[in-house]
Amino acid sequence: MSIHHLLIFVFAGMAGCDKNKPPQVQLPTNLVTEITVTGGLVDVQASAQNANFYTVTFYHNNDSTVVETNDGQADYTFAASGTYTIKTSAHTTYTDFISKVESVNVSITGSSSGAPTTGYSTPLSYSNYSLVWNDEFNGTTLSSDWTFDIGTGSGGWGNNELEYYTNQNYVINGGVLAITAKNQPFNSSLYTSTRMKTQGLKSWKYGRIDIRAALPYGQGIWPALWMLGDNITTVGWPSCGEIDIMELIGGAGANDRTVHGTAHWSDNGIHAQYGGSKVLPSGKFADEFHVFSIIWNQNSITWLLDDVPYKTLDTTPANLSEFQNKFFLIFNVAVGGNWPGNPDATTVFPQTMYVDYVRVFQ
């Protein structure tokens, strides 16, 4: 073999080896972050060249919360004052990224949770009633009487809702529970929120239930304070019965100042419902706290807004027997769905429902 032919063979072999090398990954560059602190809420806006997505890690109390975002926006609400660490990463892939670590000072005083400071309230006692259970949402941790629904349910919880429910979209601060719906892509959903419940832990048959709350607003926003029958896991819905203490369908016109109280049940296998609405003369239910109540006994369910009754259902007919059983509580903020429709360009995020207390009297 001549030297000329040998060199050609070697060079050809080298060229063949180059073809098998993995392509070189181009890391993002110029990672820039802008962090805004408002009370306990810390908002991060990140940008970088050649980034496919971002992760933001909020470190708190020997734990951490990681938010994955395509547009670089992420936020987290800290429950207490202090200095916290935040790591922002710009990714090409999950294993190829650049990061920066920063510290923020959080100072929480008074009603820095963002909750209104005014509104209607009700007493801790009524004649002919005893307080059998309550949650005043004091401290910074949720009591063991609550658990969570996680995910998107079946068909958007049966309503084509758009949110993914997590156990991270709530905080307790200053004696108030805050449930926040966020424009935050997660697990193929465009939004996140929280849906918490007392199912399997606490339930009641009859009584007066008071819930003091300030509500979110806007097109596609659907807060609810409601109840389902304990036997839903065996008989399904609507045979278990449903009592909507309060629902609001946010949006234009009178929507942000209108609440609805409704009962649902099965009438010989057919879904039946009955309820009413109450409209504020001005403003919206986000402006201040109101108390949403029901008075429920063996004969009827009456809905009240700020102690004023606005609708009563006679539950004595045999086909309304669902309402002679125990029910558990559910608090949630849904986004989108068959009733409210989807958010639009007018919808402001995040949107928060604040709950000051829930009290059950019998």
287-334 residue pLDDT tens: 999 999 999 999 999 999 999 999 999 999 999 999 999 999 999 999
CATH of 131-361, one of 2.40.110.10, 1.10.3720.10, 2.60.40.10, 2.60.120.200: 2.60.120.200
Phi-psi region of 254 (alpha: psi -120 to 50; beta: other; left: phi over 0): alpha
**pLDDT of the residue at 22:** 67
**pLDDT of the residue at 18:** 55
- The CATH architecture one would assign to domain 29-106 is Sandwich (2.60)
Where b means 16+ CB within 10 Å and e means fewer, 58-82 reads bebeeeeeebbbeebbbbbbbbeee
CB-hemisphere CA count at 13 Å for 14? 6
**pLDDT of the residue at 113:** 62
**DSSP character at residue 318:** G
**pLDDT of the residue at 258:** 97
CB-hemisphere CA count at 13 Å for 11? 6
* 242 tagged catalytic: yes
> How far, CA to CA in Å, does 67 sit from each of 36, 38, 88?
16, 19, 10
* Helices then strands, each counted (H, E), the chain: 2, 24
Dihedrals φ, ψ of 15, to 5°?
A: -65, -40
**pLDDT of the residue at 81:** 81
Closest to 32 measured CA to CA, from 49, 48, 44 = 48
Q: How many CB atoms lie within 10 A of CB 47?
A: 16
How many whole angstroms separate alpha carbon 189 and alpha carbon 186? Answer: 5
- Residues (pLDDT < 50) of the chain are 1-15
How many whole angstroms separate alpha carbon 121 and alpha carbon 109? Answer: 22
Supply 85's token pair.
């660490």
Selecting among 102, 247, 288, 322, the annotated active-site residue is 247
* 322 tagged catalytic: no
**pLDDT of the residue at 20:** 64
Give the three-class secondary structure for 159.
helix
> How far, CA to CA in Å, does 165 sit from each of 57, 124, 151, 184?
19, 32, 5, 11
Own/partner long-range contacts of 71-74 (Cβ < 8 Å, ≥24 apart): 72/44, 72/45, 72/46, 72/47, 72/48, 73/43, 73/44, 73/45, 73/46, 74/43, 74/44, 74/46, 74/184
pLDDT > 70 fraction of the chain, expressed in percent and rounded: 92
Selecting among 163, 242, 288, 322, the annotated active-site residue is 242
- How big is the chain, counted in residues? 362
> How far, CA to CA in Å, does 250 sit from each of 55, 180, 258, 349?
31, 15, 8, 13
**pLDDT of the residue at 86:** 96
Domain boundaries, the chain: 29-106, 131-361
Phi-psi region of 306 (alpha: psi -120 to 50; beta: other; left: phi over 0): left
Supply 47's token pair.
């940008």
**pLDDT of the residue at 247:** 98
Are the C-beta atoms of 86 and 78 separated by less than 8 Å? Answer: no
